[in-house]
Structure 1
């Protein structure tokens, strides 16, 4: 199965991503969903804005997925990330990994989110009650 990579300014569809990694051979599906919270580093957050270098981000996410597949022999992976303005409680990123066994799915999912946050050109601006600031992943 080809991995799914979505970068969108529309709300993310968790159910569609889970369905995309579902398969009769899959014994475990792990989903990581990052949501906008109302605080960060002692500040009250009003909303977030994400910006993305779309072509490069898609390429780098595919590279991360390929490495996860190499390490854990997982075929079913879907990664979606929002950009634009996100309100408190909205999902900014969803990663779904389907595998024959849960351990590999957990490990691959954690690797994907940790690597994505540190290497993919997606930038986050926190808009707080006290001002706004671009922050690193």
Structure 2
């Protein structure tokens, strides 16, 4: 959907929420909402933390792709962990999925909905017109 100021991005290949868009695009940049490790088919969280992190990044990648972008075009992420005890494992998994040069990143501890342990939001350049 396009307004006078921005375009919303929504794809069925990532979790959809009724109260906000998966992402918005303006001036060649995509701003995603937080993506969690939710399986779109079951609406459930992945069991292991490893799978949950990879699913959250898969969901982020799906939203970016729907907007003409990719993980390689991400310039900034904000990552929310339910516990900083998960930081070392999260960091290793993140580095498996994001190639150098790594985007700028903030990682904070936060209470997350529905017992999710990770949520990732991103700002990325549009790379496809």
* Pair member with larger Rg: 1
Q: TM-score, normalised on structure 1?
A: 0.28
The structure, 1 or 2, with the larger RCO (C-alpha pairs under 8 Å, 6+ apart) is 1
Q: TM-score, normalised on structure 2?
A: 0.30
Between Structure 1 and Structure 2, the one with more strand by share is 1
